[in-house]
Structure formats: C-alpha cells, structure tokens
Chain A
Amino acid sequence: MNFGFSDEQDAIRGTLARMLSDHATLAVAHDCLDTAEGFDTATWAALADGGWLGLAIDEEAGGSAMGAVELAILAEEIGRSLAAVPFAPVLGLATPAIQDMGTQSQKEELLSGIAEGRMIVAAALAEDGGLAPERVSAKVVQDRLSGRKSPVSFAADASFALVAAMDAGGTPRLYLVDLSDPSVSINALDAIDCTRPAAEIVFHNTPVELLPGSDPAAIRTLLDGAAVLAAFEQIGLAERALSMTKAYACERRAFGRQIGSFQAVKHRLADMFAKIELARSNAFFGAWALASKDNRLAEAAAVARLTALDAVQFTTEESVQLHGGIGFTWAADPHLFLRRGWQLKAELGPADLWRERLLCDLANGPLASN
C-alpha cells in the first residue's frame, strides 16, 4: 500500500512552491483583478523556464514525460498560489488531448510551443452551460466549423483553441482551431474571477483540423482527467484559504481572547480541514486512476470533483465570514479565493454534472444489475 507521494515527488512540490511563492504573490493576484489584465504572464514564463509546462509532454516533443501524479502536484501548488495562469485549459485539457488524440504533425506544431510557454491553447468545450460532448451544437462540415463556444477561459491570450463540435455524421469530436483566422470573433465576458478572463468565441466557417483520436469516450476520459487535476487545484486553493483564515483567527482578538479559541470559530475551521482532507483522499484515488489508466477513472474523477467542489465552497465562503467586516472588502484577500473557487467550478461544471457522471458510470459498471 502506497497511497501518498514519494520523497522525489515531495521534493518537486517544494521546488515548485518556492518558485510560485516568489512570483505569484497575493499582491500580484490583486493587481490582476484590479487591472482586469488577467493573465499573469511573468509566472507563466517562470513555469516554462522551470520546465514545468512540459511536465507531462513526451520527451521527443520537448517535455520531461513525468506522470499524472507530478502533474497533480503542479495543479495543487498553482491552486495554492492563486496564480492567474491557464493551467487547467492548457495542461489539463489541450495537452493530453493533443498528445493522446493528435497526429504527429499536430504534436510537433503545438506541444513544444506549449512546453516553452510560447503558445496558449484554450479549451472551447462548453456551450449553453453544459459540457456533455453529445449535446454540443457547434458543427463541422467539410473541415469548417460554425457555432458558439462559451465560456472559454484565456481565449484572448490563446493562439489556438481545442473545440468540441459535431462532425458531419453527428458524432462529437475534438478539433484544433487557429484563432488568428479572420472568421473567428472573440467577445470578452464578465467573469466572477477576471484573473481567468473568459470570452465567447464565435466561429463562422472557420477552418479546423480534427484530432483523429477523439471520439465520445475519449472526450469523456479527457474531461475526467481534467477534473482530477482540477480537484488538486481546488484542494490547494481551499487549503490556502484555510491557512489564511486560521492565521487571522489566531491574530484577531475579541472579548479578551483570540477568536480562534472560541469553539464557534475553531469547530468551523476543523470542518474546513475535514472537508479538504476528504477531498484529498478522493483526489489521490483520482491521481492513481489517471496515472494507471484504470477503468475506475470516471468514478474517481466524479467523487474527487464532488468533494473538492464542496470543500472549496465551504472553505471560501466561511473564510469571508470568519474574517468579519474586513473579509467583505475588495482590498482583503478572502474574495480572491471565493472568486477563483467559482471559476474552477464553472470551468468543468458544477456538482450536478458530475453526480450524473458518477451514477451513470456506476449503472454501467458493476452495479448495472441493481
């Protein structure tokens, strides 16, 4: 039984955490929010310089070919740092899609650019509030895409997009689209967390390239893997929100005592901890299933997602609450975590999507005879 990280993996985490705390401070996060600039390009460049963006990319494509567990560590530390970087779309979705489903020339064209931080590939999968591949309405006819995808994080910073659309036969597939094509229009949206700027992308007879390995099952698996990584990002975020709130509860005094000595406060912090650790246990299962390509990945992703969503929402809302009046101000930190939590929820969809994923997976699996 080894359901934890190795010494080497812990060392990776330490290096990453130091690098991120140098670059992605909460002051930078506030700046990104205030300027609505969003994207923290300096941190992204530092991640590229450190070789982190090529972590899971094959060696021949310029990466270091490490596993899903290392990628999960990167996700958790980015979540903890609150860095305004496109980790989830680029490393959680586009990279595995291109690597697992793309042609040799697609890999050559895009993967080294991703690893070097030169190229952002946005994930344009959602439509009308949903993610289910079989319900997309964007359509590709004779290698030309038409339709609307929304919301797409970092669309304005991206040179390519990974798009889910129906092929001529009505089967959902994934396509790569060059966003510099004049037929593409990108309209900024007002996101709850503008450090992950969101946009709607409208395609009108836009030339696309099919990812030949993409079929509905592969798309589902891609989303499952992304949900596992997102769970680690969510856990990092929630843990930072807890530690910040804990520090405040030790420092703030009322009625002659530190407020953290009151059970009403202490027990709520304990509940935050319990929810985070429960989510972490499920995320570990997810990382294991992702790394070993186990057929329980769908179940693992769904339970990791469900408990991570709950942990983030509870922790970030109660973090605002336990900071009192200051927690309600723009200048204070708690709302950064609350906003990012919602953004992470929006990017792969809220709990009801994943509850169905779980129940349908179990119904098709060992429990189908129930």
Chain B
Amino acid sequence: MDFSDSPEEAAFRAKARDWLDANATRRDGSEKTQDHFMARDADEVARARDWQARKADAGWAGLTWPRAFGGRDATPIEQVIWNQEEGRYAVPPNVFLIGIGLVGPTVMMHGTDAQKNTVLPRALTGEDIWCQLFSEPAAGSDLAGIRTRARREGDEWVISGQKVWTSGAHYSTHGILLARTDPQVPKHKGMTMFLVDMSDPAIETRPIRQISGSASFNEVFIDNLRVPDSARLGGESEGWKVALTTLMNERFSISVGRASGGARAEELIGLAARVERNGRPAIEDGEVRARIADFIARQRGLEFTSYRVMTSLSRGEAPGEEGSIGKLLLGKLRQEMGAFGMELAGTAAGISAKTGDDVARWRNEYLTAPGNRIAGGTDEIQRTIIGERILGLPPEIRVDKDVAFSEL
C-alpha cells in the first residue's frame, strides 16, 4: 500500500508539469466554473481548439495512441497522471474526448488506411471535433434497437432517422453514426457504422435544454443524408462489433478521466455552521451531523476506489471489478448531497438569493446529478452489468434476441 508514483511515473509527471507550467496558468480558484468536456459557446470551442493544437504540437495529444498515429504510446497510468496535472491548470474544456478517446481507437481498429489518414491527424490536432451519434428516442439502454436507416444506392448510402442525447453535436464537425442497414435479421446483426460530416445540410442539430438549465446535448435529425461507401467504418452489418469497440473505449476514457470535480461533502460542514435549525446552528443537530458524516464516508470510498483503479492501471492491468461501482454510486451520492445542501436553507430550500450562493451551488449539484445516473449506462444497466458480468448471475431473458428486427 503506497500512494507514491513509481520512478517512471514520477519522471513522466515532472515532464508534464514542466510543459504545463511553461504553457498554461495554474488554477487559483477564481476561474469561472466550467464543464470538463463541454464547451458553452463558440469562444470556448475556439480556445479549446487552440489548446489542443499546442498540445498536439508538443506531443501531449492522444497520449495513449500509438506513435505511428501521432500519439505518445503512453500507458494508461500516464494518461491518468496527465489528466491530474492538466486538471490543476486553467485550460479550456476537453471537447476532443470523443474524437481522441472513442473515435480514434475505433478507426484504428476498424478503419481503412484512407480513413486512418484523414480522421486521425485532424482529431489529434483539434481541427475536427467528433460526436457520437448512437442513442435514439427509442434506443437508449437498448442501443441495438436503433431505427435510423441507411439504404445502399449504388456507391452511396442514404441515411435517414433521428439521434438524441448527442453531447456537443451543435459544435461538432463530424459524427460517428450507427445505422440499421438490414432490418430482416435480428437486431444486433443488421447494423453498420458510418463517419459523417456534421456540416451537411441533410443534418439538423437542435440543442436540448437539460433540467439544470444548460444545453450540452442535442437531438440530431438526419434527412436523406448521402454519404459515399468510403464513409462506412468496418464491414456492412458489422456495426455492432464496431460500436462495442467505441463503447469499450468510452468506459476506459471514463475510468481514466479527470475526477468529476463536483462538490466536496466537507463543504456541508461549513454550510451547516452558518445556518440554523431549531434555533441552534444546524451543525449541532444530530441528524445533520449523521447525514454529513455518512456523505463524507461515501465520498472517501469513491475517491479511494479511483486509487484502486489507478493501481490496476499502474500495474498494467485492466481496471478490475472495483471500477464498475464508481459510476453506479457517484450520481446518487451527488443527488442526495445536493438535496441536503438545499434543505439546510430551510424554507428557502432551492431558493437562491443570488447567483453562486450556497443554495444555487447545491441546487446545481442536485440538478446535474441525474445526468451521472443516466449517461453512459443508467444505474439500472450498471446493476445488471455488475450482476451478470461480475457476479455471474443468469442473464435477463431477451425475447427479441433471435427475431428479425422488422418483426419486433
């Protein structure tokens, strides 16, 4: 049991820190809050592109990509170390996570040479921003139920349908799109993956406002989009296999991703000291103390769970069973802490007097937390994954498994 870096890790960290010191400013707490992965406006997108280009120039982009594709051949633990170090600096949001973390590795595995040569360098330098056109109104957790159709016409494919929950689609230049090409076979077998240009007029993107009030994801309407067969990624009807590569890399990106940066449970101690309950400082109330202590214990558990994931990566292993619980427990914890933070305001629960006050902060935690519980696999799907893949319980009965999609 040891928290320190190995000598190689320490050397990598020092190198990263040197470059960051020379090229970025350390955070001092006065920065505007921003999402780690989503840009709010065109200005943030432009700054993100500029930062990515400088990183690429200096060899700090696409760290885990092979050198042959412009990467650094870095180990997963080096990616974690970079994320930790970069997180200390006031840098723009990483809108390239999908391009570099998900699309790049998928293209490397399933793409043609031509696709590798066009997609990879432009993703690396930040010229292209990618989004993931997977989920649909009728296919979320059950992704293989997608209805967006791609029909072959000569050397072209004609794609029509609707995607939804597409993060960053409104500023993305390209998308990786899963479509149904053969409805006459069972649902997992009739899909094909495409790489599409988001500026095509056949694609319309409409931002969706979330319950938190911001709009980081979109619905995307595709109306007779024509793409050449060279835009097909992987074999015809092999879309599910290609999608699994993307999803596997998504899980990896999440497990090595920057810590969520949400509110710390200890902040509730200070808040409870400033407000009253039953005429006494709330922090003297037994129930308040119990709730806060339990939040701290759970949050520490998640923090140390990420250390266990890092240990696996550091040893060159895939993140083990422990990695799967972080995603499941984080959203609910943030939601409960947000609710409690608001409740401490008593009759003003949820009612903030000014921007950025305590109620506003905890309300924001409360209203963004449901996203943690839904995106990237709902809590319910996570439990099924833990039950079946880790505990080895018998699978769900799947009534649609061997039925042609058109018969469902």
Contact = CB atoms under 8 A, between A and B. Distances in A.
B321 to A, nearest CB: 7
A356 B297 CA distance: 12
B387 A277 contact: no
B74 to A, nearest CB: 15
B383 A271 contact: yes
Contact of B322 (A265, A277, A292): A277
Interface string A315-344: 000000000000000000000000000000
A355 B289 contact: yes
Most B Cβ at <10 Å: residue of A271, A277, A355, A367: A277
A4 B308 CA distance: 7
A359 B3 contact: no
Most A Cβ at <10 Å: residue of B2, B4, B9, B329: B2
Contact of A270 (B5, B300, B383): B383
Contact of A269 (B292, B300, B308, B391): B391
B325 A274 contact: yes
Interface in B293-336: 293-294, 296-298, 300-305, 307-308, 310-312, 314-315, 321-322, 325, 328-329
Nearest to B309: A3
A359 B292 contact: yes
A33 B390 CA distance: 33
Interface in A346-362: 351-352, 354-356, 358-359, 362
B325 A273 contact: yes
Contacts of A250: 392-394
Contact of B1 (A260, A265, A277, A284): A284
Interface in A279-332: 279-282, 284-285, 287-288, 291-292, 299, 302-303, 306-307, 310
Contacts of A171: none
Contacts of A266: 383-384, 387-388, 391, 393
Contacts of A11: none
A132 to B, nearest CB: 16
Contacts of B292: 359
Tell me the interface secondary structure of chain A in the complex.
Answer: helix
Contacts of A299: 300
A183 interface: no
B390 to A, nearest CB: 7
A260 B260 CA distance: 33
B273 interface: yes
B38 to A, nearest CB: 28
B269 A367 contact: yes
Given A282-B301, A287-B1, A367-B269, A359 B289 contact: yes
Given A284-B1, A285-B300, A1 B391 contact: no
Interface residues of B, number: 53
A142 interface: no
Given A284-B304, A307-B297, A359-B293, A257 B397 contact: yes
Nearest to A294: B3
A267 interface: yes
Contacts, number: 166
A271 B3 CA distance: 28
Interface string B1-44: 11111000100000000000000000000000000000000000
B266 interface: yes
A86 B382 CA distance: 39
Nearest to B306: A281
B215 interface: no
Contacts of A242: 391
B260 to A, nearest CB: 16
A2 B6 CA distance: 9
Most A Cβ at <10 Å: residue of B4, B310, B325: B325
Given A3-B307, A269-B393, A273-B325, A278 B387 contact: no
B386 interface: yes
B307 A1 contact: yes
Given A69-B1, A362-B269, A355 B387 contact: no
A3 B310 contact: yes
Interface in B48-83: 77
B388 to A, nearest CB: 7
Contacts of B311: 1-4
Given A2-B314, A303-B296, A291 B1 contact: yes
B380 interface: yes
Given A278-B301, A362-B269, A261 B296 contact: no
B213 interface: no
B5 A261 contact: no
A249 interface: yes
Contacts of B383: 263, 266-267, 270-271
Nearest to A369: B270
A370 B328 CA distance: 31
Contacts of A263: 380, 383-384, 396
Contacts of A279: 301
A363 B270 CA distance: 10
Contact of B9 (A1, A3, A281, A354): A1
Interface string A41-61: 000000000000000000000
Q: Which 9 A-B pairs have the closest CB atoms?
A: A355-B293, A266-B387, A281-B304, A278-B301, A370-B270, A306-B297, A270-B386, A270-B383, A288-B1
26 contacts: A1-B5, A2-B1, A2-B3, A2-B314, A3-B2, A3-B307, A4-B315, A249-B393, A250-B392, A261-B394, A266-B388, A267-B383, A269-B391, A270-B328, A273-B386, A273-B391, A278-B298, A280-B322, A281-B303, A282-B300, A285-B300, A292-B1, A303-B296, A307-B298, A307-B301, A363-B269
Given A257-B394, A358-B297, A370-B273, 12 more contacts: A1-B2, A2-B311, A4-B311, A69-B1, A246-B391, A258-B394, A271-B383, A284-B307, A287-B1, A302-B297, A303-B297, A359-B292
Interface of B: 1-5, 9, 77, 266, 269-270, 273, 286, 289-290, 292-294, 296-298, 300-305, 307-308, 310-312, 314-315, 321-322, 325, 328-329, 380, 382-384, 386-388, 390-397
